[in-house]
Amino acid sequence: MDGADRERLLGRLRDVVGDRYAFADPYEMRLYQYDASPETALPDIVVIPGSAAEVAQVVKICADAKVPITARSAASSLAGGTVPVKRGVVITFARMDRILEIDGDNLRAVVEPGVVNLALSQALKPLGYYYVPDPSSQGACTIGGNVGTNAGGPHTLLYGVTVNHVTGLELALPSGELVQVGGRKAASASGYDLTGLFVGSEGTMGIATKIWVKIQPLPPVQKTLMAVYPDVETASNAVSAIVRSGILPAAIEMMDKLSIQAIEAASHAGYPLDAGAVLLLEVDGIPALVDELGERMAKVCRESGASEVRVAKDEAERQALWKGRKGAFSAMGRLSPDFYVMDGVVPRTRLPETLAKIDAISVRTGFKICNVFHAGDGNLHPLVLFDAFKPGQYEAVLRIGDEILRLCADAGGSVTGEHGIGLEKRENIRYIFSDDDLEVMDRIRRVFDPHGLMNPGKVFPGDGLESAPSRAPEHAPRRASAVAGDGDVWV
């Protein structure tokens, strides 16, 4: 965008949101070039709208001018999801952070996209409800961002991820319209499930300006157990043993020795520094049941090789354990100046062999790799520790990340469980999807965003958006006799 175009566009945007909330000063643009990933790119203009109506106008102005739009809330993406790699306009939701309604009777809440995940659960708590998905970054990440990435968290093992808890959306479309899809009802029979399709589309289909979420009664009691294992392999075999035992806990998290060291250095959560690996397990329910399940689970843990099983004796101890776990990524700073986190998924039964292979990569390359992850889901978060101030390390670490994702894909898993493809993994997506798979997805994207303006450069490999998908000529009706020879498979 040249200077004159930018000024013109800025003027129109300021007419909508006011001078203070639209700016293009190159200095200020530098503050919107990053998120929590290693990726960076500068936008041309930043807009901070105050309402859905303003978002709709902003989107229309940008769409008319064919300028890319990237939505950004907390910018806590670990995959570069909010980095404006094709420049254009960044829309942030710092002012749209209102909880619009809490409707306990219908078990729903309605929020603006900038509402912080934890703030919603805190507002619900006095009423006896909570919002289930709890990403480790829940103290910062927003419901809008959660919708974008279909965020998960430790407690989604039993209760499901974001898409299972969103029932409706208001979308700002490039036409300038605000359209409501889904809503307050539990079920839907009004055409295609656009809500479900939109959740997890990482901003490439449009922008959600209002979100209807399910809320759920708080469990009467939660019991957290910590099982100490001599090594990662025994601990990951124990995960399968627990699942096979017929108890599906609310959460099963694993931390290896290095992670425990980092966590303890950061928060003194109470993890044993001499453990080879630790499983953090949680069951919730009525008191009598939770006691029974806790005992059964402790028994399974011991039988599967745990040297010690400790039950958090009070809420303070329980909170400390979870605080340590949720702060684990950031705590890595205590071990190393930089880290690179992956988000691969493997079937639970493939955990031991996958972890062994990751360990082999660490030994081979000399880079330390920590593992702290959602073991119950098979959702790995290997953290490769490095020092960006040592030339060559970053490139080496990117190669390691790529190798790990390949491993996960080959084990029948996925290259992202909750962080999203974003900018970072758009080439890795090919490890699990064929060109045909991606072509169908791209076709759907174009329905929402025909000009490739919504968070361009994300999700799809390469610059795939610029090349039109083959608009199959075979769609024209024509004679079929040429293939009638296939008839033998038809009866």
Partner 1 sequence: MAEPATLDFKRQIDRDGVPSVAAGIDMDLVRDCIHCGLCLPKCPTFRSLHHEGDSPRGRMWQIKEAALGLVAFDDPRFQAHIYQCFNCRACETACPSGVQFGAVMEMARAMTPPQNRRDRMVRAILLNGLLPHPRRLRIAGWLYRATRAARLPGLLRRSGAWKVLPLGKFAAFPPAGNSAPRQRPLPALTPAQGTRRARVGLLIGCIQDEMFHGTNQRTALALSRNGCDVVVPEARVCCGALASHAGEAQTAERLAARTMDAFSGQQLDAVVVNAAGCGSNMKEYELQLRNDASRREAGVAFSRTVKDASEFLVAMGLRPPTRRIALRVAYQDACHLVHGQKVHQQPRQALKMIPGLELVEMQESDWCCGSAGVYNLTHPEISEDALAWKIRHIVDSGAQVIASANPGCILQISMGLQRAGRDIPVVHVMDLLGWAYGDEGQAPPIVRRAMA
Partner 2 sequence: MGLNARVETLPGHEIGVEEQQRFRVDDLLPSRVMRPADAQDAARGLRLCDQAAAAVVTWGGGTQMRLGAAPRRYEVAFSTDRMSRLLEYEPADLTCRVESGMRLRDLQEALLAQGQRLPLEPPHPERATVGGMLAANANGLGRARYGTVRDWVIGIAVVYPSGKLARAGGKVVKNVAGYDLMKLHIGALGTLGVIAEVNFKVQTRPQVEATLIAHFETPAPAIDSGTTLARQYLAPAAAVLLDNGALRECGLTGDWRWTLAIKLEGYAREVEAARDEATGIIREAGGRVEDGDVPSVFWDAARDWSAPDDGLVVVRAIVPLTAIRAIFSVLPGDSHVLAQPAAGLIDVRVAAGSAASVLQQLRSAAVDQGQVIVAAAPAAVKKGLDVWGMPPPGFPIMRALKQALDPNGILNPGRFVGGI
Nearer to partner 1, 25 or 101 (CB): 25
Rounded to a whole number of angstroms, the minimum distance from the CB of residue 337 to partner 1 is 5
Partner from partner 1, partner 2, none binding residue 32, C-beta < 5-8 Å depending on class:
partner 1
Partner from partner 1, partner 2, none binding residue 95, C-beta < 5-8 Å depending on class:
partner 1
Rounded to a whole number of angstroms, the minimum distance from the CB of residue 74 to partner 1 is 5
Partner from partner 1, partner 2, none binding residue 483, C-beta < 5-8 Å depending on class:
partner 2
325: left (phi over 0), alpha (psi -120 to 50) or beta: alpha
Nearer to partner 1, 318 or 326 (CB): 326
* 299, 303, 307, 312 alpha-carbon torsion, rounded to 10°: -20
Rounded to a whole number of angstroms, the minimum distance from the CB of residue 21 to partner 1 is 8
Comparing CA positions, the residue from 50, 47, 55 lying closest to residue 169 is 55
Partner from partner 2, partner 1, none binding residue 293, C-beta < 5-8 Å depending on class:
partner 2
447: left (phi over 0), alpha (psi -120 to 50) or beta: alpha
Q: Which residues between 84 and 113 bind partner 1 (CB under 8 A)?
A: 92, 94-95
Q: Which residues between 259 and 278 bind partner 1 (CB under 8 A)?
A: 266-267
Partner from partner 1, partner 2, none binding residue 448, C-beta < 5-8 Å depending on class:
partner 2
Is the Cβ–Cβ distance between 67 and 13 less than 8 Å?
no
Partner from partner 2, partner 1, none binding residue 299, C-beta < 5-8 Å depending on class:
none
- Grouping H, G, I as helix, E, B as strand and the rest as coil, residue 284 is strand
Binding of residue 35 to partner 1 (CB under 8 A): yes
473-489 as b/e: b if 16+ CB within 10 A: eeeeeeeeeeeeeeeee
Is the Cβ–Cβ distance between 143 and 96 less than 8 Å?
no
Q: Are strands 166-172 and 207-214 parallel, antiparallel or unpaired?
A: antiparallel
Rounded to a whole number of angstroms, the minimum distance from the CB of residue 223 to partner 1 is 25
Rounded to a whole number of angstroms, the minimum distance from the CB of residue 187 to partner 2 is 5
Binding of residue 27 to partner 1 (CB under 8 A): yes
Nearest-angstrom CA–CA distance, 167 and 151? 15
Binding of residue 74 to partner 1 (CB under 8 A): yes
Binding of residue 51 to partner 1 (CB under 8 A): no
Is the Cβ–Cβ distance between 35 and 80 less than 8 Å?
yes
Nearest-angstrom CA–CA distance, 371 and 366? 16
Nearer to partner 2, 29 or 408 (CB): 408
Rounded to a whole number of angstroms, the minimum distance from the CB of residue 117 to partner 1 is 10
- Grouping H, G, I as helix, E, B as strand and the rest as coil, residue 118 is helix
Comparing CA positions, the residue from 215, 218, 220, 219 lying closest to residue 104 is 215
Q: Which is it for the CA torsion 130, 134, 140, 141, positive or negative? A: negative
- Find the binder of partner 1 among 295, 307, 394, 438 (CB under 8 A): 394
Which residue type occupies 350? R
The 10 Å Cβ neighbour count of residue 5 is 12
Nearest-angstrom CA–CA distance, 22 and 458? 24
Q: Interacting stretch for partner 1, rule CB under 8 A, among 139-147, 229-237, 345-353, 357-365?
A: 139-147
- Find the binder of partner 1 among 65, 99, 361, 388 (CB under 8 A): 388
- Find the binder of partner 1 among 1, 13, 24, 48 (CB under 8 A): 48
Is the Cβ–Cβ distance between 321 and 269 less than 8 Å?
yes
Binding of residue 40 to partner 1 (CB under 8 A): yes
DSSP 8-state code for residue 475: G
Binding of residue 25 to partner 1 (CB under 8 A): yes
- Grouping H, G, I as helix, E, B as strand and the rest as coil, residue 204 is coil
- Find the binder of partner 1 among 11, 337, 412, 462 (CB under 8 A): 337
Q: Interacting stretch for partner 1, rule CB under 8 A, among 70-78, 245-253, 377-385, 463-471?
A: 70-78
Binding of residue 427 to partner 1 (CB under 8 A): no
Structure tokens at 422: 């974003």
Partner from partner 2, partner 1, none binding residue 240, C-beta < 5-8 Å depending on class:
partner 2
Inter-CA distances, 276 with 64, 248, 252, 452, Å: 57, 24, 17, 48
Q: How many residues bind partner 1 (CB under 8 A)?
A: 51
Binding of residue 384 to partner 1 (CB under 8 A): no
Q: Are strands 89-92 and 108-111 parallel, antiparallel or unpaired?
A: unpaired
Residues that bind partner 1 (CB under 8 A): 3, 21, 25-28, 30-36, 38, 40-42, 48, 74-76, 92, 94-95, 116, 118-119, 137, 139-141, 266-267, 326-327, 329-331, 333-334, 337-339, 388-395
